[in-house]
Chain A
């Protein structure tokens, strides 16, 4: 059974704090690792799709790194703002599963206080 674990489950930070959270995923038969941002009352939207070991992607104040050999990815938010409050989901895609099958973690819920 493939498992994707995210930690912490929830996080409360002050505006301006930098923060990071972790996603661990099965490293065998790795194909891709996705990060999604999910705001309350909306649907999840892709932040990053990562495929290469050592890859680092950045979008504004948010960045992510990927280690496919050991099976983990970090998401960093620099200088958190209240609008960053959301649940951040990671999802692993591995060869051997049916095309398109993602295994989602349970998410990290981030709350940023003004």
Chain B
């Protein structure tokens, strides 16, 4: 079954404690993205990656890092989380053969105290 997985699904942490949200896909898509969703603001792209070792900033990259060492994995790293990073996070892959249709992971709800 084609899917995008994220872990953890829920996380409560404290300010400054480094964390990583993992994302993995089995669809062999080159393009992957991270979004955050906040009430009233919609989905905003944090970072994206067009292929292995190729990453770039999206609309709201401050406070985040990513890496793409393998095609299937695209972890999101928060080196020093702050309360304004409390949000719902989605990883997604892009099907360039379907006019960039997005396939979303199940989401990670992060709370930073």
Contacts and interface: CB of A to CB of B under 8 A. Distances in A.
Interface string A50-67: 010000000000000000
Nearest to B104: A43
Interface residues of A, number: 23
The residue among A31, A89, A102 with the most chain B CB atoms within 10 A of its own CB is A102
A92 B107 CA distance: 22
A81 B64 CA distance: 40
A38 to B, nearest CB: 9
A107 interface: yes
Contact of A36 (B56, B102, B107): B102
Contact of B101 (A49, A98, A104, A106): A49
Interface string B69-102: 0000000000000000000001000101011111
A46 B102 contact: yes
B104 A100 contact: no
Contacts of B56: 98
Contacts of B103: 46
Interface of A: 31-32, 34, 36, 42-46, 49, 51, 89, 91, 93, 98-102, 104-107
Q: Which 4 pairs show the lowest CB-CB distances between chains A and B?
A: A32-B99, A106-B42, A100-B94, A43-B104
